[in-house]
Amino acid sequence: MPLEILVTMVVCGVVAIAIILHMSGRSAVVPLTEDSATRAWLRHSPDSAVQSARPAATGHAALVTTEQGMGIVWCFGADTIARPLDTAKIEPHPKGLCLRFADFSTPSVTIILSSEERAVWKDAITAAPSPTVLSQKTG
């Protein structure tokens, strides 16, 4: 197949699929509740025992306290990602907090928080011990 036709077809196909998905609501985030945040954490770290899950007002992330320490779950498209907070660096961000991880596959996440939430989250994260590192196996 001529390269210019292949490239045109691929670009048009990707753009068309992206527009159709976005216009049909497939970009919407599913907000986290206390229950769904707990389930999401256990999905990523089934060995831990969750003591509490505290979703942000936006529902885009939740602080999770386990017997082993503290972690975070956040919305990732229609799904979730979870990370312990033992290696995370916390930085202020105009919209809330930015958490940076020493992980090329998950470099950082920005958590949208109100000014009140910001202080509470920062205090909770810095005060609590962190869980042991989640399983690193990726297969």
Partner 1 sequence: MSDTLNYPDVTQWAVPFFIAAILAEFLWIAIKGRGGRYETRDAVTSLIMGAGSVASGLALGVIAWGFFMILWQVTPLDLGTSVWVILLCFVLDDLRYYWVHRLGHRVRWVWASHVNHHSSQHYNLTTALRQTWTGTFSFIMIVRAPLILLGFHPAMVLFVGGINLVYQFWIHTEAIGKMPRWFEAVMNTPSHHRVHHGRNPRYLDCNYAGVFIIWDRLFGTFVPEQAHDRPDYGLVHNIGTFNPIRVAFHEWVSIFKDMTQPGLSLKQRFLYALAPPGYSHDGSRDDSATIRAKHLKRHPEDQGTAGFDRR
Residues at the site binding partner 1, with contacts judged by CB under 8 A: 1, 6, 9-10, 13-14, 16-18, 20-22, 24, 26-27, 43-44, 46-47, 74, 76-79, 81, 83, 104-107, 109, 133-139
For partner 1, the closer of residues 49 and 127 by Cβ is 49
Give the burial string for 120-138 (b: 16+ CB within 10 Å, else e): ebeeebeeeebbeebeeee
Q: Compute the 3-state secondary structure of the chain and give helix, strand, coil in percent, each to the nearest 5.
A: 30, 30, 40
Considering the complex, state which of residue 25 and residue 94 has its C-beta at the smaller distance from partner 1.
25
CB of 12 to partner 1, least distance (A): 8
Closest to partner 1 by CB, 120 vs 130, is 130
What is the C-alpha radius of gyration for the chain, rounded to an integer number of angstroms?
18
